[in-house]
Amino acid sequence: MRIHLDHNAGAPLWAEARAAMLEFLGPPANPSSAHRDGARARSAVAAARAEVAALIGARPAEIVFTSGATEANNLALRGASLTGPLVTTAIEHASVLETATALAGAGRTVVVVPVDAAGAVAADAVVRGASSGAGLVSIGLANGEVGSVAPVADVAGGLRGSGVLVHTDAAQAAGRLPIDVDTLGVDLLSLSSPKIGGPAGVGALWVRDGLDVSPQLTGGPQERGRRAGTENVAGIVGFGVAARLARAELGTAVPRMAALADRLWEGIRMRIPGAVRHGPADEPRLPQTLNVGFSGCAGDSLLVLLDLAGIAVSLGSACAAGAAEPSHVLLAMGLDRAAARSALRLSLGPTTTAVEIDAVLDVLPSLVAQIRGQAAA
């Protein structure tokens, strides 16, 4: 049996989500159709929209379904504010940073705010970065590589009344931290279905009521004119079920995941000399994310050996997998390239067990020693 410690790349699909999806895989399911099959699909999409909205304390009409958080981030950055500088941080997901680079190439001013050695960004630094008439600030609620949590509410509060829109990518935070859009005070928020145990290929952008968003996909009137194209009904249904389960499980799953992550780190710290934890030492941080550097040990070699042992981990964001460069997040935190290349991300989920954690701890020390010995030979 394989052990999955890569939940930040994608969580296992909930059995309940799979069962709900099967009802819409095969039968005609175009929500725009006027017949009873279309009405059934519309009803299912509406129910899922309500569940996704409830996960973040929003109204269903404010949810725009997309193909994933990447599309949601693109829709926010490209469609919500067409003028003024864009402000973001150095550790954002590639779908934010690459979009910002593309907008800069088209003439948009982009301000990138640095982070400290723990991967934390200062709210006042972001607010200062937006002081020159910015149109949009995009700041991730939680970093999926090192687990740092951004002061999004403080940023939004500092910009209130300025006319600057605030977007947060909450893909890694949903199901791991309580989220309420009114408490955050943001204008746009991105979500990902597979990060909370829903199917891949589905996400959402929450758009505060009254805010205009220019569609990036045009053609039909779907999603209230904000995203054209026939809805992925089965995927949306699975996303809705996953959102409902994530909300129901939050109170019990989070402390359990946090305890297991602490157990894993303590085991690594005690058994593997020179192991270093990257990211915040204390809260606020993602409760189930652990990024560890193993000096003298190539992270990619360790990943391969763990994979052969039946344990799935990652080097960082799945969207950067296979890249020749080390993690941009770790580099932005001040690590040198060798240290960044020695890091592994281990991310837990609601289904992770203590038995699995102990199994990893039984295997990991010898694999690290093996690679260090080969490097020294």
pLDDT tens digits along 81-117: 778 999 999 999 999 999 999 999 999 999 999 999 9
Amino acid identity for residue 131 in this structure: S
| φ/ψ (deg, to 5) at 204 | -155, 150
Number of H helices, E strands in the chain: 12, 12
Where in the chain are all domains bearing CATH 3.40.640.10? 15-245
DSSP assignment letter at 325: S
What is the SS3 assignment for 347? strand
Q: Encode burial over 103-126: b for 16+ CB neighbours within 10 A, e otherwise.
A: beeeebebbbbebeebbbbbbebb
Q: Tell me the CATH number of domain 3-9+250-376, given options 3.90.1150.10, 3.50.30.50, 3.40.50.300, 3.40.640.10.
A: 3.90.1150.10
Inter-CA distances, 303 with 7, 67, 274, 289, Å: 15, 29, 18, 16
Task: Please answer whether residues 21 and 236 qualify as being in contact, where contact means their C-beta atoms are separated by less than 8 angstroms.
Answer: no
Task: Please answer whether residues 46 and 60 qualify as being in contact, where contact means their C-beta atoms are separated by less than 8 angstroms.
Answer: yes
Average pLDDT over residues 264-279: 97
d(CA 49, CA 172) in angstroms, rounded, equals 19
User: Model pTM?
Assistant: 0.95
- pLDDT tens-digit readout, 159-177: 999 999 999 999 999 999 9
278, two tokens: 């990257």
- Count CA atoms within 13 Å of residue 3 on its CB side: 25
Provide CATH code, domain 15-245.
Answer: 3.40.640.10
Where in the chain are all domains bearing CATH 3.90.1150.10? 3-9+250-376
| φ/ψ (deg, to 5) at 278 | -95, 145
What is the SS3 assignment for 118? coil
Task: Please answer whether residues 268 and 361 qualify as being in contact, where contact means their C-beta atoms are separated by less than 8 angstroms.
Answer: yes
C-beta neighbour count of 171 within 10 angstroms: 29
**Active-site residue among 118, 258, 305, 319?**
319
- pLDDT tens-digit readout, 34-54: 788 888 989 999 999 999 999
| Residue closest to 170 by CA, chosen among 197, 146, 188 | 188
- Please provide the average confidence, as pLDDT, over all residues in the chain: 94
> Among residues of the chain, what percentage have pLDDT more than 70?
97
d(CA 320, CA 303) in angstroms, rounded, equals 15
- Reply yes or no on whether 297 is catalytic: no
Q: Is the predicted pLDDT of residue 139 greater than 80, yes or no? A: yes
Instruction: List Cβ neighbours of 81 (8 Å cut-off, separation of 6 or more).
Output: 135, 136, 165
210, two tokens: 């009254």
296, two tokens: 């003298």
Average pLDDT over residues 173-197: 98
91, two tokens: 């550790």
